């Protein structure tokens, strides 16, 4: 990931400019082009892709699974899926980093929802979910990107923020989110949707 340039405006409050996150710096091949090379079996290109995406892939999966050993296993599966299916990446449907992180998140969520993993995980989740909204700050305070996301999450209502973080960072289905927060299903759907709109606009996401 590219370090955030000093003096860039919009870091202090919403709405900010489009995020530079995961864009390539000058002189670097962009991820789209690298994935095309990977689709053709280029192992050197894949190593570059690995170096670029492994930190968010691993970090996100560990965040969802709350277990480093399992996270490493699932991250390995996700990164091999990137290798095997790079030819299916379609730039018209979203950015390369979104494609990669979608694979990673789905794999993490699948693992969370699989029966074998659920029992061990219950215990870890039980203590951690109370402060779901605060975890962003706890685990990733060092990163400016994380700070920006944290800032925008703070701009949501409590229910929007809790719904989104439970769904995304804890891998809850929306009915599980509804149960955990004691709110009607329909309410959760709209809170997630409205919260994501606000987050999207605050982060200045381009798509």
Partner 1 sequence: MRIGGITIGRGPHDLAGAYALDALDSAESTRFERHLSSCRTCPDLVRGFAATATELGLAAAAPPPPSLKAAVLGAVGALSSARDVDEAIASVLSAPDARIVSGATTAGGTATVVATPRGRAMVFTSSGLPVLPPTSVYEVWFIGSGGARPAGLVPPALPDIAGTTVPLHASGLTAGDVVGVTVEPAGGVRAPTTTPIVVLTLRA
Contacting partner 1 within 39-68 (CB under 8 A)? 41, 43, 46-47, 50, 54-60, 62-63, 68
Of 34, 35, 66, 105, which one interacts with partner 1 (CB under 8 A)?
Answer: 105
Could you tell me how many residues of this chain bind partner 1 (CB under 8 A)?
72
Residues 6+ apart with CB under 8 A from 177: 162, 163, 166, 167, 188, 192
The reply to whether 164 sits near partner 1 by the rule CB under 8 A is yes
* CA–CA gap between residue 173 and residue 43 (Å, rounded): 36
Dihedral of CA atoms 201, 131, 59, 95 in degrees, nearest 10, equals -20
**Choices 3-11, 100-108, 116-124, 125-133; region in contact with partner 1 by CB under 8 A:** 100-108
How far is C-alpha 97 from the chain's CA centre? 10
Residue 153 · residue 161 · CB < 8 Å: yes
Q: Round to whole Å and give the CA distance between 172 and 107.
A: 13
Instruction: State how far the Cα of 65 lies from the Cα of 118, in Å rounded to an integer.
Output: 10
In the complex, what is the shortest distance from the CB of residue 135 to partner 1, in angstroms, rounded to a whole number? 9
Residue 89 as a binder of partner 1 (CB under 8 A): the answer is no
Contact 195, 157 (CB under 8 A): yes
Binding mask 113-152 for partner 1 (x = CB under 8 A): -----------------------x--xx--x-xx-xxx--
Which residue among 29, 155, 174, 180 contacts partner 1 (CB under 8 A)? 174
CB of 23 to partner 1, least distance (A): 11
Judged by beta carbon, residue 62 or residue 121, the one nearer partner 1 is 62
């Amino acid at each position: 990931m590219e370090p955030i340039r000093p003096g860039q405006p919009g870091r202090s409050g919403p709405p900010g400019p489009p995020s530079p996150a995961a864009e390539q710096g000058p002189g670097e091949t962009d991820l789209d082009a690298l994935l095309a090379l990977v689709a053709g079996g280029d192992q050197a290109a894949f190593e570059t892709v690995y170096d670029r995406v492994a930190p968010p892939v691993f970090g996100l999966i560990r965040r969802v699974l709350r277990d480093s050993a399992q996270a490493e296993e699932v991250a390995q599966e996700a990164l091999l899926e990137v290798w095997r299916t790079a030819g299916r990446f379609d730039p018209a449907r979203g950015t390369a980093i979104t494609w990669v992180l979608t694979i990673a998140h789905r794999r993490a969520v699948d693992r969370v929802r699989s029966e074998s993993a659920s029992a061990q995980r219950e215990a870890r989740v039980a203590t951690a979910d109370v402060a779901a909204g605060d975890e962003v700050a706890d685990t990733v305070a060092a990163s400016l990107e994380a700070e920006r996301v944290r800032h925008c999450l703070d701009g949501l209502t409590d229910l929007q923020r809790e719904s989104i973080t439970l769904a995304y960072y804890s891998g809850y289905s929306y009915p599980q989110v509804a149960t955990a927060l004691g709110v009607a299903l329909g309410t959760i759907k709209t809170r997630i949707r409205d919260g994501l709109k606000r987050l999207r606009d605050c982060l200045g996401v381009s798509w």
